[in-house]
Amino acid sequence: RKFSAMLSAFSSFIMWLIGWKVTGRYPHEIKKLVVIAIPHTSNWDFPLGPLSRSVMKAKFKFVGKASLFDPPFGFIFRWFGGIPVDRSRSNNFVDAMVDMYRNADQLAVTLAPEGTRQKVEKLKPGYYYIALKAGIPILLIKFDYSKKEIDFGEVFWPTGDIDRDMDYLRDYYRHVKGKNPDQGWP
């Protein structure tokens, strides 16, 4: 606990030093969450993610392309809580993640629903179906470079009406600007 508090204070100092702030609240009382961070338009999102996680004293993992976990630096991504995903093979990622949630007492995994740092017109729906099938909520996080703020926002329960839920999420993230705003969704 003491180390966690020191690490959180150090991370808060680093965020302050680089001019960023972390707002909102991490729902520690919820044991299983899908965490989404939008927009994802830059590699700079990665160092900000673990720092903000540390500030909130949150323990969540992230999913990344398998090549990130190759030597010589792969151990760093694992240490930060990374789970490698082989995007070259056709496998059922959603069902594998649902099984992972069902077999865990406590688990939170961050996904970038844009799936890339390039411009996309719609989000990849995997995160949504993972939450729906596992019966767990989605924590909405905003990476807003215009405000230099990472906001741990609301906990969203998918309804099963994906069109209505996507309209809600599009509205929720509408004014958030990524590092490269022309590449962000929506």
Pairs from 123-129 (Cβ < 8 Å, separation ≥ 24)? 123/38, 123/166, 123/169, 123/185, 125/162, 126/93, 126/94, 126/97, 127/34, 127/36, 128/158, 128/162, 128/165, 129/94
How confident is the model over 62-75, as a mean pLDDT? 86
Residues 22-46 have pLDDT tens digits of 999 999 999 999 999 998 888 888 8
Cα atoms found within 13 Å of the Cα of residue 161, Cβ hemisphere only: 5
Report the first-to-last Cα separation within the chain, whole angstroms: 39
Mean pLDDT estimate for the chain? 90
State residue 88's pLDDT score.
Answer: 58
Strand partners, 96: none
Strand bridging mode 21-24 / 61-65:
unpaired
Read off the pLDDT band of 117 (50, 70, 90). low
